Structures are given as structure tokens and as C-alpha cells.
Structure 1
Amino acid sequence: MYPALSTQDAFARYEAIRARLPGYIGQDASSSSSYNQRQSQAEKYIEAPNLGALADKFDVFVFDAFGVLNVGETPIPGARERIDALRDMGKTLFVLTNAASFTFPQTIEKFQKLGFDFRPEELISSRAVCEMHLDDYADVGHWGVIGPEDYHAGQLTLPNSALGIDGADYDRVDGFLFLSSAGWSRMKQTMLLHSLAANPRPVVVANPDLVAPREDGLSLEPGYFAHDLQDALPNLSLKFHGKPYGSVYDHIHERLGDKNNADPSRIAMLGDTLHTDILGAQACGWTGILVTDHGLFKGHDINDYIASSGIKPDYLIPSI
């Protein structure tokens, strides 16, 4: 078993892999200039009591799920009412979730069970975006999938099989798709590492998160294990889809269609994590609003983490 991470542990790990994230100061100027300009312009975030106080400033609202709309399987009080109020104001709404354990129909069902009434076109999962890009890997004839317990090969249109505890299965496939860490173990991680060391192949990760807030603490997510692989195998072909990486933001811009010419600073990203939600949003010119009372930084002084990371949200609210 892997040890549970505290908020401090998770933050330290995000900082350790900072050079692999968008907006890193060591990247070329064309890829990081929007983020760096935003950071230099704002020495201090603006606090607001809730999202209602900021609603007039934005035309488009993009919500993270965990820590903003729900914690684990529990909806956050008042979240549904805020969504309804924004919809009544004519705002454009999206949910951008890194939760990749679910198929798209399961994602729709999940939010319905949580009490939300999002339309299918308002829901964007990193898994769905990831699957759109698998055709980029022409040399991968058969994918090995690390998925949840209910995963089956019919969930993908490309040849694939689920990976379990048989090391030979890892050696047979041409590439790896990491969807879910549910049921993942140190033994499986070791088998994957040894297989990749002996025969390098691409690894595609549909959830870049290191952790996610649950009712009983922080769960370890696929990004945690993927970065451990890259630590051990620096030349690993590793691709992430999901916040803070660009493909999911590009997809939202495609969804916006005619509205895509709007001022990107009037697109607000609501999230609970500096290194994913805020960093990714600001890297593409959006406004980052950090929600503090329910997610990664619940019960912590956010100022310490902002000062240490240099990632400054534009706004801070306790809850939406």
C-alpha cells in the first residue's frame, strides 16, 4: 500500500514536478508568456464571499468538480443553487473534470446523482478528450488499459485489454492508457515500471491529478503514479490529458464556437488546486478563482502555499 498524503505532502510533490507543468518559467516564452504576464500583474489575489459577488465579471464559467461541486460522492451545499443562478443569468457553463474512471454516460449519471442538471454538452472529461487523441499513436496496435474494476475492452474503439496482476500482459501491449488508480498497487506499479524499462512504450494519462479530495482524506490519482514512472525513466514517452495540460482547454474553446472570440479573461475557472486548476487556466489566459473550503487546502492558510509556489489566483472564494 502507498501511504496517504497530507496537503503539505501533495503540495510538495506538485512543486517537485513543477518543471513538467504548463507555465513553468523554464519553458520557451511563447508557451508561458500569458501565465508569466498574469503573475507579474497581480501581487495579491482579490477575496470575495462567494461566486455570486463576481458573476457580472465573467461570461463563461468552467467548474472543477472535486472540491468545488462535490467532495467524493457528496455534493457541496449551495453548489446546485449557484449553478442554477448563473444559468438564469444567461452565463455559459462547463464542468471540466479530471476524473477519468467514468465513461461519458457514467459521467452524466454521476452528476445527476449528485443533484446537478448539467447538459451533456456542458460536461467535459479529461478521459473523453484523451480518447479523442489516441489515434495520434499509429504505432500502438494494442493498448494496455489501467482502469477501474468495471472497465472492459468495449469501452474503447481501439484494440485494448485491461491490465491486472499478470506481468506478461504488461509486456504484450504496445502502449499504456492510465485511466484510474482505483485498485492500483505498489506491485502493479513495479510491474509497469519493469516492463517499460525493458521495452519503452508510450504512456498516456487521462487524469494528471496527484490527489483528489474525498470524504475521508486525499486519494492518490493517476498523475501521482505517472510522475513516479517519469522520475525513474526520464526518457519515458509520457502524455497527459486533463488540467493543467492544454488539450482540455483547446476542447472548451472548440465548444465555445462563435463565442471563442470573447476576451479569455472573462472565462473563469473555478478549482481547488493551484497546480492544476489555477495554473492551467492562467496559462491559457483565463481567470483563475481558487475555492478553499472544501478541497485540497481546506483548513490551511492558503497564503503560505501561494507564496511558496508563486502561483497566484486572481480571486479567492471559500465556496461557490
Structure 2
Amino acid sequence: MLSSELAGWDADKAFGFYESVRAVLPRARYPATPTCAPDLGPVAERYDVFVFDAFGVLNVGETPIKGARERIDQLRELGKSVFVMTNGASFSAEASMEKFRKFGFDFTENEIVSSRSATLSTIGSFGDLDGWHVITTERDDAADFGQLEPIGEVADDLDEAEGFLFLSSARWSEPKQAMLEASLMRRKRPVVVGNPDAVAPREYGLSLEPGYYGHRIAQRCGIDVAFHGKPFPSIYDVLESRISPDIQPSRVVMMGDTLHTDVLGAAACGWGSVLVASHGLFRGLGVESYITASGIVPDWIVPSI
């Protein structure tokens, strides 16, 4: 990512961006006030299924958060079901498992629900993806989506594409974004974003993610961009298909570091929510002012899980 693109991106700017696209996010109902707790201990008895965001909850960038593995083990010992729900769309199921193993976690493939899996579950609605281009990492061939072309480096290549699948911004830049927007203005085509996050917490600060670029395309090019991942419904459908139908939504709880993705998405499908305040988007900040300004209220606030 170019440093000039990241200049000025902090929690306030990210929050403002999410608020600016609020009209296209799901609607939800919230509690009047959140309950503060020192960790997940007081929360455990109230829920049967615990769903963890990755960035800002289990890890920050490539660094696992201290005590996260132990908390997962404690919940399992209590008989709770545990899942990870991540908007990281650049990893296949096998690669996701390997990534979490490196962090010290032992999640099974069934326990990892990614926005990539949500995108795969719905991409068939676009028919044959022949001629589509994909925006992803160098190591990801996106073969699970079919024979997609890596996005071109010149305008003529983009003009020939029949659609665009956006999985990662790791190799993306403002010049490439401008080139893509210009191509889409010349001829509107489908755009599918497999990671709705606008930013992600890293060791060095915030990175710009596909959700930011996807919302820009929707606003500037007049395209109904399809988003898959938190807070949009398809990823919750995938997770709910993996748990017992006897478990009521109110017995499922989401732990995350953002209001507009983690908390909003959980509330929209009737789950409980826990805002983790010390490691992700709001680390070092008072979250109460952001809750008041947005009206997005978690059920719980904890500094760390």
C-alpha cells in the first residue's frame, strides 16, 4: 500500500467512512446500553456459540494476542461451540487453517468461516465467471472460483474484463483504483467484493481494505457492488448452516473490534455482540463516544477476550 494512501487514516477517519456508507449496511436493533466486563468470563454462561473476529481480537497483523488461545480452550472446556468469522478473503480454507496454526490456534476447517466462503456460496448467481478478473494476493490463484485472470496493469485489459472479483488489497494502489473506476465508467460490469472491511488493524496502524475501494466504486461508478462478509448476510448464513438448528440466534455471540462490521452484523441477525476495545480499531481510545455517535450499541464491552 502506498504511504500517501494511508496518510490520515486513523479510527476517526475509518469511523467517518463507515458512517458515510451506512445507508447500504444492514439495519439492526440494539440494547439501550452496553455492559462492561473485564473479559469474557461473565459472558460465557449466557451463550452457547462464540464467534470470534480475527484481526483485533485473536491477532493484530501477524501477532497473536496474548491469552486468546487460552480463552478459546476455556470455552471449549465449558462445552461451548467456537468459530472464527473473518473478512480475510485472500486465504483458501486450507491456507486459513495454516495461518491460525502459526498463531498457535487449533481451529478446524469447519470452525473457520471466512468472507471467501460466503462469496463462494453466492458467486453462482452471476453465472459463468469466464472473462472475469480477480484482485488478490500474489500467492492466491483464486482457483476455487474457476479460471479467473489476474487484474491487468493497463486500461485495455480492464476494458475487456466481464466482471471483477476483489479479494485483497495487498497489491492494490490508488493509480490502479483510478484505472478500474475509469474502465467501469466506460462500461458498467459486475463487481463482487469478498472483504467488506474498509480498514484492518496492523502492527504499524491501519491498512486500506477491499471494502473501502468497493464502496468507492459503488458511489463513483453507479454500480450495485455485491459485498460478502461482515456485516452482510451471506457470511452469517454460512455460519448458521454449521450449527444446530435448535440453537436460537440469541444464544450466539460475536466478538469483534468494530461497530459497523462486527457489532452491527451480529445485531442484524439477532446475535449478541461483544466489542473488544483494546487491540483493534479503537485501541487507546474511548469507545463510548463512537457508540453514541453511531447508535450502534454492543451488548458487552471488554478490553480483551
Question: Common fold, TM-score beyond 0.5?
Answer: yes
Q: What pairs up with 1:121-270 in 2 under 5 angstroms?
A: 121-138=110-127, 140-152=129-141, 155-234=143-222, 236-256=223-243, 259-270=244-255
How big is the shift at 1:237? 2.8
SS of 2:6's equivalent in the other structure is: coil
2:79 aligned with 1:90? yes
- The CA RMSD over aligned residues, in Å, is 1.2
2:53 aligned with 1:64? yes
Name the % identity.
51
SS of 1:213's equivalent in the other structure is: strand
TM-score normalised to the size of structure 1?
Answer: 0.91
- Distance in 2 between residues matched to 1:3 and 1:110, nearest whole Å: 25
Other-structure match for 1:81: 70
SS of 1:85's equivalent in the other structure is: helix
Q: Is the 8 A contact 1:60 1:268 kept in 2?
A: yes
Q: Which amino acid aligns with 2:275?
A: L
TM-score normalised to the size of structure 2?
Answer: 0.96
- Distance in 1 between residues matched to 2:71 and 2:245, nearest whole Å: 24
Gaps of 5+ in 1: 24-34
Structure 1 residues 157 and 243: alpha-carbon distance in aligned structure 2, compared to 1, 3 A threshold? closer
Other-structure match for 2:265: 280
How big is the shift at 1:152? 2.4
- Distance in 2 between residues matched to 1:64 and 1:225, nearest whole Å: 21
Other-structure match for 1:18: 22
How big is the shift at 1:142? 2.0
Q: Is the 8 A contact 1:143 1:160 kept in 2?
A: yes
Q: Is the 8 A contact 2:117 2:235 kept in 1?
A: no
How big is the shift at 1:193? 0.5
Q: Is the 8 A contact 1:164 1:188 kept in 2?
A: no
1:96-155 C-alpha deviation (Å, 9 max, x unpaired): 0001121211111000000001111101110122022221112643210001122325x2
Gaps of 5+ in 2: none
Q: Is the 8 A contact 1:178 1:204 kept in 2?
A: yes
How big is the shift at 1:169? 1.9
Equivalenced residue count is: 301
Q: Is the 8 A contact 1:206 1:240 kept in 2?
A: yes
How big is the shift at 1:229? 1.1
- Distance in 2 between residues matched to 1:95 and 1:218, nearest whole Å: 21
Which is worse superposed, 84-93 or 1-10? 1-10
